[in-house]
Structure 1
Amino acid sequence: MAGATVEDTEGGPGAAVVLLRDVRVRRHTTDRLILDGIDWTVRPGEHWALLGANGAGKTTLLRLLGALMHPTTGSVEVLGSRLGRVDVRDLRARVGHVTAAQRVPGELTAHAVVLTGHTGTVQPLWRMYDDEVRRRAHRLLAELDVEELTDRPYEVCSGGQRARLLIARALMADPALLLLDEPFNALDLPSREDLVEAVHRLAEGRPRLATVTVTHHLEELSPAVGHALLLREGRILARGPVAEVLTDARVTACYGRDITVTRRDGRWAAYSRRRTEHPAP
């Protein structure tokens, strides 16, 4: 039902990767409240889905987690550092951020694209990449199952291949938090499934890594996703274990449309029930 909230599990081991308390973000040009009263904890090894309709505040929330902006009020702690009390440039280097809108020179080879993750630059800084750094880039290409692309220019890689290269790039800094901002955008079915599998293997192979995935489609969530947060008009509608959050009633309330949610073999799907017209008596 609307307004229902599943509480975060606060008893997990280890310090929080993300800790938000009573966070509000107000757009200064219009005084519009973008996020309102956000409380959220993400712990090491947790994998979250961040869901909501367009305009719900997902992008703003992700920008807070990536230390790309500050809240208007409330506190945001990322990797143990509170925004406003830390050099955000250092903090950003410890958070992996993947978005399809990321600028990448098309002529760079796949290996060079991954290398730029070491320096956090668009263009390679070749003098900064010693043999060990180059070997690490090769290992990440193999981990994301795109090692055969090593010498292929980025511009001729498919959308799914590019998404996996950007994830490998983000992992060069060995982040404790990985933000995936609609990484499946415009992928065909085989590419989507390849990426889902790659993200699942990544979660299994890195037990301390926490991830937050923004998506519009439940089908894009890997079986590793164990928590979900639903946003509606800047407020949290529900958060907690996926089985408690991704229900027909809560997803319907989130999107304002009659939604049926199903789960099979750890994968999710959602569809809108057909609206039928009832003739007047």
Structure 2
Amino acid sequence: MIVANDLSVNRGGRLILDQVSFQAKRGRMLGILGANGSGKTTLLKTVTGFYPYQAGSIKIDGKPLVTLKPKERARRMAVLSQEEHVSFDVPVYEAVALGRYAHQQGLFAVKGKTDDDIIRKAMEETGISDMAERSLLSLSGGEKQRVWLARALAQQPDSLLLDEPTNHLDLARQVALMEYLTKLLASRQLTVVCILHDINLASLYCDDVLLLKNGKVVCQGETQSILTRGALENIYGTAFHEWQEPVKGRKQFSVVARV
């Protein structure tokens, strides 16, 4: 479980997050929505300890974030960033194996059979087993995205934090990824926090949502209660049409064209 209270972040002399509070619960997926510049990525990077905060508090499973050493943070939280910059080439298997670093002891730790089993299971679950020996730099954007997700799963974290995980994926892969994350919630009882630009994917798959505008929380709570035309028009500044998805009965939205 991740709990943030009255979190404020200044960067470059500008207030990016203003007294943001939220809870991300175990076994549930929290979707973070908001327009560009609303503070979504800053919030995620602050929760992971990448950015400092000037006020408030963050607790990971009851422990203050500031008391957790880097390896302990990595064992508790895995992060899939919006952009993963690759400056070196390795086989896909070795890229996924980097996720085991937090569980290894010593400077020159060697992977054991348990590590190998976990790595291969993560690759199987993300559909990249057949890419094990391929060059990382030879992959498409969508294929790399699945490699980074496998690396995150290989960490065996309690919490999974994802910044636009459907970026670079085609429509079928987007749905497959979100359905896979839903299954992970049930099987591993993870805490999942997910920044999404696609409102409809959030409505279909997120248990809870947090709506941000100009660094402040507009509203948060159970997805089908929070996602309304009025709330979305407030944070995105444009008109929406609402209808109901026929299979799950969840709300769906489309932008209304401006004549």
2:15 aligned partner: 33
Q: Which residue does the alignment assign to 2:167? A: 185
| Aligned equivalent of 2:85 | 103
Report if the CA contact (8 A) 1:100-1:163 is conserved.
no
Distance verdict in 2 for CA 1:262–1:157, change over 3 Å: farther
1:204-223, aligned counterparts within 5 Å? 204-206=186-188, 208-221=189-202, 223=204
Maintained 8 Å contact 2:74/2:155: no
Aligned length: 253
Describe the superposition over 1:223-246 as per-residue Cα deviations: whole angstroms up to 9, x where unpaired: 441100000011101100000111
RMSD: 2.3
Report what 2:24 is aligned to. Answer: 42
Higher Cα Rg, which structure: 1
Q: 1:228 to 1:150 in 2, by over 3 A?
A: same
Q: Tell me what 1:14 maps to.
A: none
Contact 1:248 1:260 in 2 (8 A): yes
When the two structures are superposed, what TM-score results if normalisation uses the length of structure 1?
0.81
CA distance in 1, matches of 2:187, 2:68: 30
Q: Give TM-score, length-normalised by structure 2.
A: 0.88
Q: Is the 8 A contact 1:110 1:165 kept in 2?
A: yes
Further displaced range: 254-263 or 67-76: 254-263
Which has the higher mean CA deviation after the structures are superposed, 170-179 or 90-99? 90-99
Given the alignment of the two structures, is residue 112 of structure 1 paired with residue 122 of structure 2, yes or no?
no
2 CA distance for matches of 1:55 and 1:245? 21
CA 1:156–1:254 in 2, change beyond 3 Å: closer, same or farther? Answer: same
Q: Any idea what SS the aligned residue of 1:56 has?
A: coil
Tell me the CA shift for residue 200 of structure 1: 3.1
Task: Give the alignment of 1:1-281 within 5 angstroms.
Answer: 17-27=1-11, 29-30=12-13, 32-104=14-86, 107-119=89-101, 127-206=109-188, 208-221=189-202, 223-264=204-245, 265-266=247-248, 269-276=252-259
For the residue of structure 2 that corresponds to 1:170, the secondary structure is helix
- Describe the SS at the equivalent of 1:134: helix
Q: Which runs of 5+ in 2 are unaligned?
A: none
Give the match's secondary structure for 2:66.
coil
Q: Which amino acid is 1:216 matched to? A: H
Deviation of 1:254 (Å): 1.1
> For 1:131 and 1:186, how far apart are their aligned partners in 2?
33
**Given that residues 162 and 195 in structure 2 are in contact (C-alpha distance below 8 angstroms), is that contact kept between their aligned partners in structure 1?**
yes
Most deviating of 211-220 and 246-255: 211-220
